[in-house]
Amino acid sequence: MQRVGRAVVRLGSRRTGGERTLSSGQELLKKTPLFDFHQSHGGKMVAFAGWCLPVQYRDSHVESHLHTRQRCSLFDVSHMLQTKILGRDRVKLMESLVVGDIAELKQNQGMLSLFTNEEGGIIDDLIVTNTSDNHLYVVSNAGCCEKDMTLMQNKVKELKSAGCDVDLEMIENALVALQGPSAAQVLQAGVSDDLRKLPFMTSAVMNVFGVPGCRVTRCGYTGEDGVEISVPAERAVQLAELLLGNKEVKLAGLAARDSLRLEAGLCLYGNDINESTTPVEGSLVWTLGKRRRAAMDFPGAAVIVPQIKGKLKRKRVGLMTTGAPVRQHSPILNAEGVVIGAVTSGCPSPCLKKNVAMGYVDGDHSKPGTPLQVEVRKKKQAAIVSKMPFVPTRYYTLK
């Protein structure tokens, strides 16, 4: 999880136009349509990626984490950037920026992909869905909002000047995630669509508990079954209250979101991947479309593709550690005590009752089972390279 600050001050919102002073400070933070809702439900608000979001509620972080694994939790992810790519050449635009095979997506099917630069670095990770409404629906990270918009807008201008039919539209909806093994059961009570026919990484527009025009995507950031619901901003609180009316559902914040995604082996942009890491170094080779690899027609392909079969100088790995929990930037050492890398994310696992982490080590020390060490407060602790996810994922797929 990105480091959260205590200075939470003037709150502006592109959606509400309002601002609110919470305490002294200098940072201008945006608020989601659910800001007042969070406060009324005991949300502890913190600064995150330019937004004011709840880090937790009245329940402890561990209680919230375990509730998500056992039942389901509701997260506000409205800070994420939602955009539409429109026009006849929308796939051409997206494939000029990402590593995935967007052309192969069926209607209402999505995929995780990566914006990359010419040096092979990861500009951002994003989900692209090929909707049946003649546009691509894109969700990307709040912390990368400005550079993502600039990247896409510049490419739109470039393609338009070449005579292509393409456009970009920002979506002003709120976005909430309902995550956990009972999420589908909770949601099914409020929709007429059969959610058994909506597998992982597919999407549909439907009425949700009487709120029309919601895009429901079977995906999430916890490793559990669940959905993300793009809902008109003015109806977000209504929908959240209706979902919360089910006893299976509790609110969850950034703290649980971070430990859940780490147990699931999922990257946080800015911590585990960035513009100086490639998809291969980040153990994200599976995001590279086979056709795209063969054609080498995505940004940075000349750097990225040769790495697939080459010897890596560094690679993202999972770690299990003993002793005190390790945090971002903690050194990783080999058995002889030589520094060979650094931790990028780490926390105690509420499910495993062990410390889990991920980080980068040199290629010679990346095999699961390799004994290593980590340094915490200048003390060395035992660590071992572990397969990820640490906790098995439970995404819903059609049998």
Q: Is the pLDDT of residue 299 over 60?
A: yes
Q: Mean pLDDT over residues 160-178, rounded?
A: 98
pLDDT at 108 over 60: yes
Q: Is 281 annotated as a binding residue?
A: no
pLDDT tens profile 247-276: 999 999 999 999 999 999 999 999 999 999
Across the chain, what does the average pLDDT equal? Answer: 93
Mean pLDDT of 131-159: 97
At 25 the pLDDT is 39
pLDDT given for residue 399 in this prediction: 74
SS3 readout for the chain: CCCCECCCCCEECCCCCCCCCCCCCCCCEEECCCHHHHHHCCCEEEEECCEEEEEECCCCHHHHHHHHHHCEEEEECCCCEEEEEECCCHHHHHHCCECCCHHHCCCCEEEEEEEECCCCCEEEEEEEEECCCCEEEEEECHHHHHHHHHHHHHHHHHHHHCCCCCEEEECCCEEEEEECCCHHHHHHCCCCCCHHHCCCCEEEEEEECCEEEEEEECCCCCCCCEEEEEECHHHHHHHHHHHHCCCCEEECCHHHHHHHHHHCCCCCECCCECCCCCCCCCCCHHHCCHHHHHHCCCCCHHHHHHHHHCCCCCEEEEEEECCCCCCCCCEEECCCCCEEEEEEEEEEECCCCEEEEEEEECHHHCCCCCEEEEEECCEEEEEEEECCCCCCCCCCCCC
Can you give the pLDDT at residue 96?
Answer: 98
pLDDT at 378: 92
The pLDDT tens digits of the residues spanning 198-252 come to: 999 999 999 999 999 999 999 999 999 999 999 999 999 999 999 999 999 999 9
In order of their start, the domains of the chain are: 30-78+173-263 (3.30.1360.120), 312-389 (2.40.30.110)
pLDDT over 80 (residue 367) = yes
Q: Provide, rounded to the nearest whole percent, the portion of the chain with pLDDT above 90.
A: 93
Give the model's pLDDT for residue 3: 31
Is the predicted pLDDT of residue 116 greater than 60, yes or no?
A: yes
Is pLDDT of 22 > 70? no
What is the per-residue pLDDT for 20? 38
- pLDDT beyond 70 at 6: no
- What's the pLDDT score for residue 27? 61
Residue 296 has what pLDDT?
Answer: 98
Mean pLDDT of 81-102: 98
Give the pLDDT confidence score for residue 4 in this predicted structure: 32
Least confident of 7-16, 326-335, 347-356, 388-397: 7-16
